[in-house]
Amino acid sequence: MKKIQKILNKKNKSKIVCLTAYSKNFAEEIDKHVDITLVGDSLGSVLYNYSSTRKVTLTEMINHSKSVRLGIKKSLMVVDMPYKTYDTNKSAFKNAKKILKETKCDAVKLEGGKKIIKQIKFLIKNKIPVLGHIGLLPQSVKGKFKSKGKNIKEIRQLINDALLLQKNGVFAIVLECVKTSIAKEITEKLDIPTIGIGSSVNCDGQVLVTDDLIGLNETNIKFVKKYLNLKKYINSGLKKFALEVRSKKYPTKKHSY
């Protein structure tokens, strides 16, 4: 709870930094720089080439999260509940409890507002911390990804969902691909923090898929900024190794028993 309070305390003071991690070695580095480490079900497309996050299973999420847990020392660890694992209060509670117990994460994230409010309320009542997620919901998208908040109906739904999630106790809300002015309005209306992805600087924090920003995952999504071309560094190291093996420069005596 202390870690969650720390996130809440950042509202209107300092920005919240959140990144995804899918394994221990990455989590170890990510943890040094973020407030929240998210084991996102984006791992379905990033690691497994699934056409949709709907294909990600509970077992996959738990296994990756167990690995991530090993790398985390200080940040709040949140795990995405995969598609179809929170359809009812009973299934949401059973699966969230399993995620928390097996991965030792701090909270779970569920996609949606009013449609899943009963399950969110039930989890929070049963002491399971929940991070909300509204706007573009990858688990619900069939076809093209589109930004949200473009017409009155969408704007009303976003604002109502945000207020409803806050009222029912989520500690923060991810706003995905929400129009700048609406993200600003929601952020100003709420006492809890918003964490944006493609939703402008007006949010209380930002989240990105780590593999996208370090250039491991090729993408042309508008909101992704590539901070590093990690593939270039990996390739230069691997190329050197292959050259040295072929030219018998490696291993030397130093590397041999």
List the structure tokens of 136.
């573009």
Smallest distance, ligand KIV to C-beta of residue 42, A: 3
List the structure tokens of 152.
């009155």
Binding pattern to ligand KIV, positions 183-212, x when CB under 6 A? Answer: --------------x---------x-x---
List the structure tokens of 67.
């690995």
DSSP 178: B
173 binds ligand KIV (CB under 6 A): no
Contact 173, 131 (CB under 8 A): yes
Q: Which residue number, 106 or 176, has a Cβ lying nearer to ligand KIV?
A: 176
Using the contact rule CB under 6 A, the part of the chain among 33-41, 89-97, 113-121, 160-168 near ligand KIV is 33-41
- Residue least distant from ligand KIV (Cβ): 40
Member of 80, 106, 161, 185 binding ligand KIV (CB under 6 A): 80
Q: Is 28 a catalytic residue?
A: no
107 binds ligand KIV (CB under 6 A): no
Member of 23, 37, 42, 199 binding ligand KIV (CB under 6 A): 42
Contact 198, 147 (CB under 8 A): yes
Contact 197, 210 (CB under 8 A): no
Q: Is the dihedral of CA 93, 94, 98, 101 positive or negative?
A: positive
Q: State how far the alpha carbon of 215 is from the alpha carbons of 107, 218, 247, in Å.
A: 28, 6, 30
Smallest distance, ligand KIV to C-beta of residue 160, A: 21
List binders of ligand KIV among 3-22 (CB under 6 A). Answer: 20
Smallest distance, ligand KIV to C-beta of residue 204, A: 14
Nearest alpha-carbon partner for 173 in 140, 155, 204, 195: 195
**Residue whose pair of structure tokens reads 């359809």 in the numeric block:** 87
Residues in Cβ contact with 50 at an 8 Å cutoff, skipping those fewer than 6 apart: 44, 56
41 binds ligand KIV (CB under 6 A): yes
Residues in Cβ contact with 84 at an 8 Å cutoff, skipping those fewer than 6 apart: 54
31 binds ligand KIV (CB under 6 A): no
40 binds ligand KIV (CB under 6 A): yes
**Given the rule CB under 6 A, which residues bind ligand KIV?**
20, 38, 40-42, 80, 174, 176, 197, 207, 209
Catalytic residues: 176
